[in-house]
Chain A
Amino acid sequence: MRKKGLRAAAEPLLYLLPAIIFFIAFTYYPFLKTAISSFFLVDSMGRAKEFVGFENYLRVLATPQFRIAVKNTIVYMILNAPVSILISLILAIIANKPTRSSRVYETMFALTMAISMSVAAMIFRMAYNPSIGALNHILGTRINWLNDPGWAMIAVSVIATWLNIGYNFLFLLAAVRGIDKGLLESAEIDGAGIFRRTLGIIIPMVSPTLFFLVVTQMAKSMMMSSLALIFTNSATLSTTANIDTMISYMYKQAVNNLNYNDGYATAIIAFIMTFILMLISFRFEKKGVHYN
Chain B
Amino acid sequence: MNREKTIKKAKNVLYQAMAVAIGVVIIIPIIYAFFISFMPANEIMRMPPKFLPEHWILDNYVFAISTTPLMRFMLNSLILAGVSSIIRVITAAMAGYAFSFYRFPGRQLIFYLFMGSMMIPSDVVLITNYQTVARLGLINTYLGMMIIFLCNATNIFLMRQYFLSFSVSLKEAAVIDGASNLGFFLKILLPVSTPVMTTVFISSFISVWNTYLWPMLVTNDNLMRTVQVGVTMLNFPDGVVYGPIMAASMLVLLPTLLVFLIFQKRIVGGIMGGSVKG
Contact = CB atoms under 8 A, between A and B. Distances in A.
A39 to B, nearest CB: 14
B98 interface: yes
A167 B276 contact: yes
- Mostly helix, strand, loop or mixed at chain A's interface? helix
A241 B206 CA distance: 31
Contacts of B71: none
Contacts of A15: 94-95, 97-98, 102
A271 B121 contact: yes
Contacts of A233: 216, 232
A54 interface: no
Contact of B245 (A9, A110, A122, A247): A122
Interface in A60-116: 91, 94-95, 97, 99-101, 104-105, 107-116
B16 interface: yes
Interface string B151-169: 1010010000000000000
Contact of A267 (B51, B124, B256): B124
B191 interface: no
B232 A19 contact: no
Contacts of B198: none
Contact of B26 (A19, A97, A108, A225): A108
Given A122-B232, A236-B234, A26 B271 contact: no
B31 to A, nearest CB: 10
Interface stretch (A130-138, A143-151, A196-204, A281-289): A130-138
Interface string A15-29: 110111011011111
A121 B248 CA distance: 13
Contacts of A119: 228, 231, 249, 252-253
B104 A9 contact: yes
A229 B104 contact: no
Contacts of B174: none
Interface in B203-260: 206, 209-213, 216-217, 227-229, 231-236, 241-242, 245-246, 248-249, 252-253, 256-257, 259-260
A118 B229 contact: yes
Among B51, B232, B257, residue most surrounded by chain A Cβ atoms (within 10 Å): B232
Contacts of A162: 29
A167 B232 contact: no
A132 B45 CA distance: 6
A26 B132 contact: yes
A25 B132 contact: yes
Contacts of A254: 127
A117 B131 CA distance: 25
Nearest to A37: B128
Contacts of A13: 98, 104
Interface string B12-28: 10011011101110110
Given A26-B129, A263-B127, A113 B267 contact: yes
B147 A26 contact: yes
Contact of B48 (A105, A137, A275): A137
16 contacts: A15-B98, A19-B95, A19-B156, A23-B114, A27-B120, A28-B113, A31-B120, A34-B125, A105-B23, A110-B264, A111-B30, A119-B228, A122-B249, A137-B48, A170-B271, A275-B119
